[in-house]
Structure 1
Amino acid sequence: MNNLKKEHPTLMNNIRLIATDMDHTLLTEDGKLPPKIGDYIQRLHNVGVQFTIASGRPIYTLQRLFEKEKNELAYICDNGGAVYVHGKNVYKSLIPVADYHEMIRFTDKTVDGHPIVCGLDAAYIPKADARFLPFYKTFYANVIQVDDLSTVTTEANKFTIYFPKNNSQAQYDQVFAPRFADRYSVVVSDANWIDIMNPGVNKGQGMRQLGAKLGVHTDQMMAFGDTFNDAEMLQTVKYGYRVANANPGIYQYADYVTGSNDDYGVLQVLDQVLAAHA
């Protein structure tokens, strides 16, 4: 249940911007949205609260998930690599082509992970990884297969490595952080994903970009997350919540806790926000 450490729930009537992670946070463990989420988004909109999806997923996937609500939502996509408000791009941080080519070569030579170039229009994968397509399309609705990933020159704001053995934390600690963390933002997104973005790019920075666009201060922000790519976002906002099923490694970054994703913990707090605004 909710465990506010600093503020009484009735003080939530100053909230103007709410962001939530997707996997293991808003989505249940079977990958479903909580019931009546569209009604919650509309009710928040009606009281002047901007609801935002903050995800490692790209805009084209998120808009398909929220087809009816897409024009009322804001999106922090690709872990902060792009920000959209009501369907319009207001920020993007593109990785130089030469840089993500270096990442491709390093991944192919060094680990048993599978590289993905996350373009603004689609995810680019080598044809040799076609067996992963059903899984990839859960996160990347548009996938383009190429013979040689190093020939891709698209606008990209994220480079991702998929680890089927669910050993992304070890790969981060031993391989990718030592190689890239001094030049890029490198983060473990789940047990089987490592994401690399430009330096300074993360969901917290995305919240600041969005707040600047909307005229919302961080004291008027709330966010929900479950793992390491949510840490900066939870630290940026006044009300940073971890769900009960969160990775213990992020407990230090969240001032508050709510129910698990399967218990619709995000909705539990949204009920409080809506009550405060009423």
Structure 2
Amino acid sequence: MVYKALFLDIDGTILKPDHTYTESTKDAIRQVKDQGVEVFLATGRPIHEISELAAELTIDSFIGYNGAYALYQKETIVDEPIDAAVIDKFVEIAKENNHEFVMYTNGGNYFSNLDSPIVKLFTEAFQMEHNETYTRAVNHQILGVTVMNVEASQPSLYEFDPAFHLSQVNVKGVENSYDIIRDTVNKGEAITKLLHRINVAKEEAIAFGDGMNDKEMLRAVGEGFAMANAHPDLFQYAKHRTTSVTDSGIYNGLKELGLVK
């Protein structure tokens, strides 16, 4: 099989818990790019927060906000803000239940309370820089939402619309945070649209992930890899299981396919 596209999650897949990546990961990306494979970052993070990493890895195509926005080089392929009325409802639920939240636009991260300890922990965990306090003035621009300080029994509060589900964040220290995912707007749907744009078959694409927000992505490609450190429920969606993010998981997975030396 000649593979033509590679989609990589960031946190827990490229980046280790200390926010660094192994040299083998960078080397593996270089090797597949040299073979003509298109490489994409595919993340729940906003695109404005990943430019430094992208430059280091020489990657210029992205899926951000869990699939709500996608760029192929400089061409916008997906741009799907959440309905403003739904955003207002999410804010109402968060306030009623003492949850914190962050709303992502194409240019900033809008938090419920920047002074909250859980918010500070979250911004440190994801090294977020473009942070502001949420106001309703941006409610029509929201591409993604994460809610924090959510008890295990509470995610269903936000699932009042069957088109939405919550996905637990698979990052140490912020496990009580959940991404709000749309069934029709996710990493997998974005991959399908990008593959159509670049005329690549599903079977010619590869993806690596570790969180439950990666389940659609791993099913949208021919070769889906779950990292050894993945959320336990993710393995059922992956064709392959590779080593952990701290043990060259991307390199070893690509080696299994014969793409790196």
TM-score norm. by structure 1 comes to 0.82
1:102 matched to 2:89? The reply is: yes
Are the counterparts in 2 of residues 118 and 159 from structure 1 also a CA contact under 8 Å?
yes
Please give the secondary structure, in 2, of the residue aligned with 1:112: coil
* Alpha-carbon distance, 1:276 to partner: 4.3
1:175 matched to 2:157? The reply is: yes
* Alpha-carbon distance, 1:128 to partner: 5.3
Could you say if the C-alpha distance between residues 128 and 60 of structure 1 is closer, same or farther in structure 2, counting changes exceeding 3 Å?
Answer: closer
Are the counterparts in 1 of residues 14 and 25 from structure 2 also a CA contact under 8 Å?
no
Percent same amino acid among aligned pairs? 23
Q: Which position in structure 2 is the counterpart of 1:49?
A: 37
Higher helix proportion, which one?
1
Q: Which position in structure 2 is the counterpart of 1:8?
A: none
Amino acid of the structure 1 residue aligned with 2:91:
I
Amino acid of the structure 1 residue aligned with 2:71:
Y
Q: Which position in structure 2 is the counterpart of 1:192?
A: 176
Amino acid of the structure 1 residue aligned with 2:157:
V
Q: Which range moves more in the overlay, 24-33 or 38-47?
A: 38-47
Could you say if the C-alpha distance between residues 128 and 45 of structure 1 is closer, same or farther in structure 2, counting changes exceeding 3 Å?
Answer: closer
Measured in 1, the distance between the counterparts of 2:130 and 2:140 equals 14
Match of 2:232 among 248, 262, 266: 248
Equivalent pairs, count: 255
Measured in 2, the distance between the counterparts of 1:171 and 1:265 equals 33
Q: Which range moves more in the overlay, 118-127 or 151-160?
A: 151-160
Q: Which runs of 4+ in 1 moved over 6 A?
A: none
Match of 2:131 among 138, 143, 146: 143
Q: Which position in structure 1 is the counterpart of 2:54?
A: 66
Are the counterparts in 2 of residues 60 and 141 from structure 1 also a CA contact under 8 Å?
no
Measured in 1, the distance between the counterparts of 2:22 and 2:13 equals 10
Amino acid of the structure 1 residue aligned with 2:166:
V
Are the counterparts in 2 of residues 94 and 198 from structure 1 also a CA contact under 8 Å?
no
Q: Which position in structure 2 is the counterpart of 1:156?
A: 142
Could you say if the C-alpha distance between residues 276 and 194 of structure 1 is closer, same or farther in structure 2, counting changes exceeding 3 Å?
Answer: closer
Measured in 2, the distance between the counterparts of 1:88 and 1:33 equals 28
Q: Which position in structure 1 is the counterpart of 2:12?
A: 24
Q: Which range moves more in the overlay, 97-106 or 264-273?
A: 264-273
Please give the secondary structure, in 2, of the residue aligned with 1:89: strand
Are the counterparts in 1 of residues 62 and 71 from structure 2 also a CA contact under 8 Å?
yes
* Alpha-carbon distance, 1:261 to partner: 0.7
Measured in 1, the distance between the counterparts of 2:215 and 2:197 equals 22
Are the counterparts in 1 of residues 28 and 250 from structure 2 also a CA contact under 8 Å?
no
* Alpha-carbon distance, 1:142 to partner: 1.2
* Alpha-carbon distance, 1:185 to partner: 4.5
Amino acid of the structure 1 residue aligned with 2:66:
N
Amino acid of the structure 2 residue aligned with 1:263:
D
Amino acid of the structure 1 residue aligned with 2:249:
G
Unaligned runs of 5+ in 1: 1-12
Are the counterparts in 2 of residues 18 and 52 from structure 1 also a CA contact under 8 Å?
yes
Unaligned runs of 5+ in 2: none
* Alpha-carbon distance, 1:176 to partner: 2.7
Measured in 2, the distance between the counterparts of 1:141 and 1:154 equals 22
Measured in 1, the distance between the counterparts of 2:47 and 2:79 equals 12
Could you say if the C-alpha distance between residues 87 and 31 of structure 1 is closer, same or farther in structure 2, counting changes exceeding 3 Å?
Answer: same
Q: Which position in structure 1 is the counterpart of 2:67?
A: 80
Match of 1:227 among 207, 211, 226: 211
Amino acid of the structure 1 residue aligned with 2:179:
D
Please give the secondary structure, in 1, of the residue aligned with 2:185: coil
TM-score norm. by structure 2 comes to 0.87
1:34 matched to 2:16? The reply is: no
Are the counterparts in 1 of residues 7 and 39 from structure 2 also a CA contact under 8 Å?
yes
Are the counterparts in 2 of residues 53 and 75 from structure 1 also a CA contact under 8 Å?
yes
Measured in 1, the distance between the counterparts of 2:153 and 2:60 equals 35
Q: Which position in structure 1 is the counterpart of 2:102?
A: 116
* Alpha-carbon distance, 1:130 to partner: 5.5
